[in-house]
Structure 1
């Protein structure tokens, strides 16, 4: 029969062994948790830095490049890059997505993303409208651009008609309704007979993919509603993950707002209040971008302007010189555009 002394020694050894093993497990879990926390913090920090760097470049663009087609392409490219990084953060922290307050903020971001699709559709329609203008300009170039032939009255008639059609195409539909009802459009989508006899009283030169009552200004306001910086308690509860959610929401809003400012959209409007906490590194370039576009709108925007895109502004300036010989315009119409 084993001695009680040996039993006590064995029991003490087992207890000591379990305590050592348990302590080592706690240390391993502590180190793993610390490593995961450090990795998450590094990922979130890099996301903020990349957003800052991308919008620093955009906000510091030269006057020649700012709000041009090339600049808009860079803006969209920067947003796509930010969105891809944000998606990676969500995939790496899937366990947090269903926990409050993270779940609510993610849900709100998805709702804003769905609303953004309308603005994307309206912007696409605006680009189609600009392409129609380009076709009119190509007619003018073909009629007057050749130096190898003598210009005849027919060339001037063709160019003059194309310029008048271009001027009409850039007008707001409500303003140009009575004119469009009497003119055949050379370009643009053809509407059905139902649209042709719509309550507007004229066939539309362009078929918007959004309803007639849809408003870009109201849609932007809807996206901006309730977009507030997270509280300290929410940041702590979600281990800081609410910061990138707030960041991507703000970036989405500023990009959509810029698209509406630059490109022809139904019921354009820029009257949203945009303010972000200064302690966020990307707040400086994004706020600078917002203020710069706002200033441009004050300098260049006029009644019924189609957008702040630099190329649109150049076309509008040219249209404004039609029928003004002192400014190098073509001769007066004299009925040649009919």
Structure 2
């Protein structure tokens, strides 16, 4: 009997993941935004709980071959996702640092009174620091230093301005750059997000017909959960800055499965986004990162072309750009903390589900924590 004949055996609670993704796939403007990532993690947590309930209600069958091996493989696979969660948490912290630098630009220029040259100098220094910190972590530090002079008109003027800065501004410059350069990931320096995703995805194959028959269709539940785990971790790595990002993960999900259609559609959509010319070298596909990059580019061009005193027309343009920066800062302020809490919850839920699952099946190792 073909394996596809058993797709209806996959519990409806797990196929709800596909319907949940389908429901917000229509919100294309939210794709890869903080809000979208939050919805994705909510779906994962629901699936995790439903999967745990399925195993609990079929304990006897889950403790027998071949289902016991499949369930054990899933739990070991889920442990590999913990490192991804740690790396994503660090990526969120990195974005939070970018937010703080963007807020310096906002505070420097968001004034009711006329905007002067000193305020522009402070904003420009923050923009330079922000540009440097958004460069790929693997790039040579000399390249980052050269990017300080990318602005059209700041060749010699930057030195002149630095002599006129207050001690406080010089101290800020030293501390902020030093902090970014010393920032390290909580995972090891040799850790690779791309390799970790490959490890999570290894040997995730559709269940064979004889396994479906032997498990009364429950093998499909394990396969769905494996696929959900891989997709969610892959989407996180695609969106958030982390060490050695790589999106070339092979999803072996037949399109004949109804629950797989929206998942694969989202996978294709994210890949398309990653291949866009302006996104190829991005440190993350998160929508808010794109907005930060746009704000930095526009504000830097504005700062380079500014002549003082500002004309009324130029001051209006500056205030319009500042309003755009303010919206980006608000989005980050509203979205980063909830995302960090969700990633932490995913981490703890994976640990707890594995422990409870192995205990329930009576297969927990003696040395397990």
Please give the TM-score of this superposition, normalised by the length of structure 1: 0.75
The aligned residue for residue 330 of structure 1 is 303
Deviation at 1:277, TM superposition (A): 2.1
Q: Does 1:89 align with 2:54?
A: yes
Which consecutive unaligned segments of at least 5 residues does structure 1 have? Answer: 1-40, 191-202, 334-338
Deviation at 1:152, TM superposition (A): 2.0
Structure 2 CA distance for aligned equivalents of residues 261 and 185 of structure 1: 30
Structure 2 CA distance for aligned equivalents of residues 154 and 56 of structure 1: 51
Task: Specify which structure has the higher proportion of helix.
Answer: 2
Q: Does 1:283 align with 2:252?
A: no
Q: Does 1:78 align with 2:43?
A: yes
Deviation at 1:322, TM superposition (A): 5.5
8 Å CA contact 1:52–1:282 kept in 2: the answer is yes
The aligned residue for residue 127 of structure 1 is 92
Structure 2 CA distance for aligned equivalents of residues 302 and 75 of structure 1: 21
Deviation at 1:173, TM superposition (A): 2.6
Q: Does 1:210 align with 2:187?
A: yes
Tell me the secondary structure at the aligned position of residue 213 of structure 2. Answer: helix
8 Å CA contact 2:14–2:50 kept in 1: the answer is no
Higher relative contact order (CA 8 A, sep 6+): 2
Q: Does 1:186 align with 2:176?
A: yes
Structure 2 CA distance for aligned equivalents of residues 156 and 98 of structure 1: 67
Q: Does 1:220 align with 2:197?
A: yes
Tell me the secondary structure at the aligned position of residue 11 of structure 2. Answer: helix
Deviation at 1:299, TM superposition (A): 1.6
Deviation at 1:317, TM superposition (A): 2.3
Which consecutive unaligned segments of at least 5 residues does structure 2 have? Answer: 1-6, 149-172, 307-369
Structure 1 CA distance for aligned equivalents of residues 59 and 177 of structure 2: 50
Q: 1:268 to 1:301 in 2, by over 3 A?
A: farther
Match for residue 125 of structure 2 among 157, 161, 169: 161
The aligned residue for residue 306 of structure 1 is 283
Deviation at 1:205, TM superposition (A): 3.9
1:220-259 to 2 correspondence within 5 Å?
A: 220-259=197-236
Q: 1:47 to 1:187 in 2, by over 3 A?
A: farther
Structure 2 CA distance for aligned equivalents of residues 111 and 301 of structure 1: 37
The aligned residue for residue 22 of structure 2 is 56
8 Å CA contact 1:261–1:307 kept in 2: the answer is yes
| 1:285-323 Cα shifts (integer Å, max 9, x gaps) | 111111111111112554541111111011122333454
8 Å CA contact 1:143–1:159 kept in 2: the answer is yes
RMSD: 2.5
Q: 1:292 to 1:80 in 2, by over 3 A?
A: same
Q: Indicate the larger mover: 50-59 or 252-261.
A: 50-59
| 1:243-283 Cα shifts (integer Å, max 9, x gaps) | 11000000000111000100001000100111312332211
Deviation at 1:93, TM superposition (A): 0.8
Structure 1 CA distance for aligned equivalents of residues 125 and 200 of structure 2: 42
8 Å CA contact 2:124–2:300 kept in 1: the answer is no
Tell me the secondary structure at the aligned position of residue 138 of structure 2. Answer: helix
